[in-house]
Amino acid sequence: MKDKVAQLTASRKQLRQQMPDLSTILPGSLLSRMVRCNKPGCRFCEKGKGKGHGPIWILSVNLGNRQVRQIPVPNELRKEVEESLRAFAQTQKILKQIAQLNLELFKERKHQRP
């Protein structure tokens, strides 16, 4: 089945072209939360009524060993961080797909041996 090899190789090439710019990738996920200032009389933080201030944005990164690092993200960097997180997720997805394709290719090539 030479066709299958050609097909798998073409799919792999296509996946490689979908690979994001690796120099931008960031791990983690972006969270938002409201914060309370605890200033007396603040109408945003009024007990039971106010929603607090914000939202503020936080980059949450899992460091392993149940350790999570939370890094505040300034508003003007939020979009960039979001894109970098997407690039990382996309990279991981494509890596898995290419690895899977290569596994198929390996099996095909084994079967094709004389």
Binding flag, residue 45, Zn ion (CB under 5 A): yes
Binding flag, residue 44, Zn ion (CB under 5 A): yes
Residue at token pair 């004389």: 114
The whole-angstrom separation of Cα 30 and Cα 41 is 31
The residue among 45 and 87 lying less far from Zn ion, judged by its C-beta, is: 45
The residue among 45 and 73 lying less far from Zn ion, judged by its C-beta, is: 45
The residue among 53 and 109 lying less far from Zn ion, judged by its C-beta, is: 53
CB of 58 to Zn ion, least distance (A): 18
Stretch that binds Zn ion, among 19-27, 35-43, 73-81, 90-98 (CB under 5 A): 35-43
Instruction: State which of residues 6, 10, 35, 37 lies at the interface with Zn ion (CB under 5 A).
Output: 37
Q: Which two tokens stand for residue 104?
A: 């198929």
| 3-state helix, strand and coil shares in percent for the chain, rounded to the nearest 5 | 50, 25, 25
CB atoms closer than 10 angstroms to residue 7? 15
The whole-angstrom separation of Cα 43 and Cα 30 is 27
Binding flag, residue 42, Zn ion (CB under 5 A): yes
Strands (E), 1-114: 29-35, 53-64, 67-73
Chain positions contacting Zn ion, by CB under 5 A: 37, 42, 44-45
